[in-house]
Amino acid sequence: MAPPSPTAPRAATVPWVLFGLDGRIGRQAYWLSFLLIMLLSYIAITPYKASMAAGTMQEQPGLYFWALVLVAVWTQFAIGAKRLHDRGLHGLFALLLLIPIINIGIGLVIGLMPGDPGPNRFGPHTDGRGRFG
């Protein structure tokens, strides 16, 4: 079976936005995804923060903690790559989002700049809410 055309609309589902590497997302979808990830990360880390404040933190974080870190890093990379695609850039530039301090500036730039107005090599134009057209 042939792969879908880069201009064919793709259903914007939450799993695709958070974990997929193909396609484009607009600024609104980027910021909402970013806020969702930050909220879920904060909620998931709360037990560790409480144990640190109480002085009962284990010396080494467990598998649960590292699984959360891995999921958070992957989702940040995935939404960054799709946002870069919206600007017509290769998603590998999203690796810069993994560098502390630099990630703040790059995240702001790709989150504030509008995407390409029409279709590009990564897919059709999306409106701000992630709908294609």
pLDDT tens digits for range 55-70: 666 666 678 778 888 9
If phi > 0 it is left, if psi is from -120 to 50 it is alpha, else beta; for residue 113 that is beta
Question: Is residue 43 scored above 50 in pLDDT?
Answer: yes
Q: Does the predicted TM-score (pTM) go above 0.85? A: no
The alpha helices in the chain, defined as continuous H runs, are 14-19, 27-54, 63-86, 102-112
Residues 111 and 31: beta-carbon distance below 8 Å: yes
Round to whole Å and give the CA distance between 34 and 24. Answer: 15
Percent of the chain with pLDDT over 70: 78
| Domain range summary for the chain, segments of one domain joined by + | 14-112
